């Protein structure tokens, strides 16, 4: 595998010499699904290669920071004004203008289907005064800057937009690297852009290969045929030098959803019994070999503010309202999960053992996700194990909580409906980004956990491989950044 992999990277680069002018070789997990259009999840590849950029970026705690926009202000509940960075050139040589920013965002807003970040959002954009755009939403939206950080709203040159809604990102971005070739589902090539507004990149280019096989990706790191490797499988880590492996907390929680509407778990005391029976640390050690974090709440260490919020007296007081656990006394429960994530069937085995030790009788059902999702959403399981992203494209967990735990939630596997929780979520959604919103989110989380609608098990990590000779690779929990203008080789 390693030999085959090395043959796909550009020959003759000087990475092994430590030459700072050498090219970075990257082995990525998934090939593009939509021709690298930024209006799809492929946008995250363009962002991780630092070829396409957005008006704003998010810092570690999810607050918006300048990028192609230098400043912004909220004019009223529905209107935001963004000042556009001067002196920026697209990779095709045309200048970044307010008019092109407006055209790029308008193309996304009118796309069919829309980028996921704009689901349920009616947005319009107009240029104002030559160096600014005004973004207008149909309803009040305190998260407009966070939305505009999504890679799916990258700003591309006019040349990227073709007839029929096709968007081609070749030579159309603004980042330190130009996407010069996209070879379907096999590879991509990027060269340094010498006119980058942020200064000259440390490396002369990036050569990307898509390597879905985890064993092959790990081999590429061991044999130095790749400098940066995405998503090394847990089972391969022991074969790699420890100093080459970096674990990054992900905003993804492995959760046991309990059916609160029908069956045994309609009784809060039975839900409490299930929660009390679960040994999270045993699952982390036996299934994930210790390479995950035991969950204390729905939100994990990828959101660094969450732990501090859980330590507050108000949060802990809400948890004290949980009902007392009853004895299961042989109650039968149907436990479901899916095979698409290799660890989940193993997690189901561990949970079955723990629940049966507490007095439940467990029947398992495991299928591919596409064949089990509709039954899970229809409430046909008493309990369901899911690996769930807790922050979506805006970097904010409110959308996830609404989807999973509100009365009208579109992904409400727990069949959960509670007026107090709905009110807490509505309050959090209305608060502007910042400390107040984070406190309101934590208050909603505490309420959800106090009802035992779901039992968070663990927070996953992504294992990233980096050659000993590479420097300044980004380790991003949101998986938006990987290679940056500062990424390069040791002298």
Structural domains in the chain, sorted by start: 20-51+175-241+468-491 (3.40.190.10), 52-165 (3.90.76.10), 249-461 (3.10.105.10)
Quote the pLDDT of residue 6: 43
Q: What global pTM score does this model have? A: 0.82
Neighbours of 244 (CB within 10 A): 18
Band the pLDDT of 33: cuts 50, 70, 90. confident
Decide if pLDDT at 35 tops 90. no
Decide if pLDDT at 359 tops 90. yes
Decide if pLDDT at 386 tops 50. yes
Band the pLDDT of 375: cuts 50, 70, 90. very high
Mean pLDDT of 345-368: 96
Q: Which residue has the higher pLDDT, 204 or 119?
A: 204
Quote the pLDDT of residue 10: 46
The string of pLDDT tens digits covering residues 243-298 is 999 999 989 999 999 999 999 999 999 999 999 999 999 999 999 999 999 999 99
Decide if pLDDT at 20 tops 60. no
Decide if pLDDT at 14 tops 70. no
CA gap 127, 446 in Å, rounded:
43
The string of pLDDT tens digits covering residues 409-467 is 889 999 999 999 999 999 998 898 889 999 999 999 999 999 999 999 999 998 999 99
Sorted by sequence, the CB contacts under 8 Å of residue 365 that are 6+ apart come out as 334, 335, 336, 372, 381
Q: What residues are paired with 245 via a beta bridge? A: 465
Band the pLDDT of 79: cuts 50, 70, 90. very high
Residue position matching structure tokens 């926009």: 69
Long-range CB contacts (within 8 A, 24+) of 1-7? 1/213, 1/215, 1/216, 1/219, 2/216, 2/219, 2/220, 2/222, 2/223, 2/225, 4/216, 5/209, 5/211, 5/216, 5/219, 5/220, 5/225, 5/226, 6/220, 6/223, 6/225
Decide if pLDDT at 54 tops 90. yes
Instruction: Tell me the average pLDDT of the chain.
Output: 91
CA gap 80, 242 in Å, rounded:
47
Distances in Å between the Cα of 209 and the Cα atoms of 6, 8, 75, 399, 483 are 10, 7, 45, 33, 14
Strands 454-466 and 292-294: antiparallel
CA gap 97, 93 in Å, rounded:
12
Q: Which residue has the higher pLDDT, 65 or 212?
A: 65
Quote the pLDDT of residue 212: 87
Band the pLDDT of 370: cuts 50, 70, 90. confident
Query: Percent of the chain beyond pLDDT 70?
Result: 95
Decide if pLDDT at 12 tops 60. no
Strands 205-210 and 23-28: parallel
Decide if pLDDT at 331 tops 80. yes
Quote the pLDDT of residue 9: 54
Mean pLDDT of 345-355: 97
Quote the pLDDT of residue 396: 83
Residues 442, 445, 450: CA angle, nearest 5 degrees: 130
Query: Percent of the chain beyond pLDDT 90?
Result: 75
* Range among 19-23, 174-178, 429-433 with highest mean pLDDT value: 174-178
Quote the pLDDT of residue 392: 65
CA gap 193, 173 in Å, rounded:
10
CA gap 258, 452 in Å, rounded:
8
Decide if pLDDT at 484 tops 90. yes
Quote the pLDDT of residue 7: 44
Mean pLDDT of 201-208: 96
């Amino acid at each position: 595998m390693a030999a085959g992999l090395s043959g796909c990277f550009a020959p003759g680069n000087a990475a092994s010499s430590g030459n700072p002018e050498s090219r970075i070789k990257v082995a990525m997990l998934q090939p593009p699904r939509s021709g690298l259009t930024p209006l799809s999840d492929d946008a995250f590849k363009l962002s991780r290669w630092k070829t396409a950029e957005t008006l704003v970026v998010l810092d570690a705690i999810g607050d918006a920071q300048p990028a192609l926009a230098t400043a912004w202000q909220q004019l009223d509940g529905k209107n935001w004004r963004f000042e556009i960075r001067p002196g920026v050139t697209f990779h095709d040589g045309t200048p970044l203008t307010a008019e092109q920013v407006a055209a790029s965002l308008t193309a996304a807003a009118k796309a069919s289907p829309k980028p996921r970040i704009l689901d349920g959002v009616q947005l319009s954009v107009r240029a104002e005064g030559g160096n600014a755009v005004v973004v207008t939403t149909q309803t009040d939206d305190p998260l407009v800057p966070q939305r505009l950080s999504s890679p799916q709203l990258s700003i591309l040159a006019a040349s990227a937009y073709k007839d029929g809604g096709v968007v081609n990102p070749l030579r159309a971005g603004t980042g330190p690297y130009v996407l010069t070739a996209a070879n379907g589902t096999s590879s991509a090539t990027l060269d340094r852009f010498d006119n980058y507004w942020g200064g000259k990149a440390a490396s002369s280019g990036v050569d990307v290969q898509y390597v879905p096989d985890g064993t092959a990706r790990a081999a590429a790191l061991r044999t130095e045929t790749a400098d940066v490797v995405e998503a090394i499988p847990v089972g391969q880590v022991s074969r790699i030098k420890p100093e080459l492996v970096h674990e990054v907390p992900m905003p993804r929680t492995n959760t046991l959803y309990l059916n609160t509407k029908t069956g045994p778990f309609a009784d809060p005391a039975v839900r409490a019994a299930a929660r009390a029976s679960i040994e999270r640390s045993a699952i982390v050690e036996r299934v994930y070999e210790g390479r995950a974090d035991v969950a204390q709440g729905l939100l994990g260490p990828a959101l660094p503010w969450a732990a501090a919020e859980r330590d507050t007296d108000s949060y802990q007081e809400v948890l004290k309202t949980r009902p007392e656990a009853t004895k299961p006394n042989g109650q039968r429960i149907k436990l479901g999960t899916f095979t698409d994530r290799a660890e989940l069937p193993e997690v189901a085995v561990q949970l079955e053992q723990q629940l049966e030790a507490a007095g439940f009788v467990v029947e398992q059902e495991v299928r591919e996700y596409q064949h089990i999702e509709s039954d899970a959403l229809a409430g046909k399981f008493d309990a369901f194990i899911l690996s769930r992203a807790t922050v979506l494209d805006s970097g904010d967990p409110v959308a996830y909580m609404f989807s999973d735990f509100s009365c009208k939630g579109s992904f409400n596997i727990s069949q959960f409906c509670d007026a107090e929780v709905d009110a807490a979520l509505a309050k959090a959604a209305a608060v502007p980004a910042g400390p107040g919103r984070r406190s309101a989110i934590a208050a909603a989380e505490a309420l959800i956990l106090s009802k035992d609608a779901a039992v968070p098990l663990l927070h996953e990590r992504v294992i990233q491989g980096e050659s000993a000779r590479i420097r300044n690779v980004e380790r991003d929990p949101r998986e938006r950044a990987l290679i940056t203008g500062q990424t390069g080789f040791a002298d």
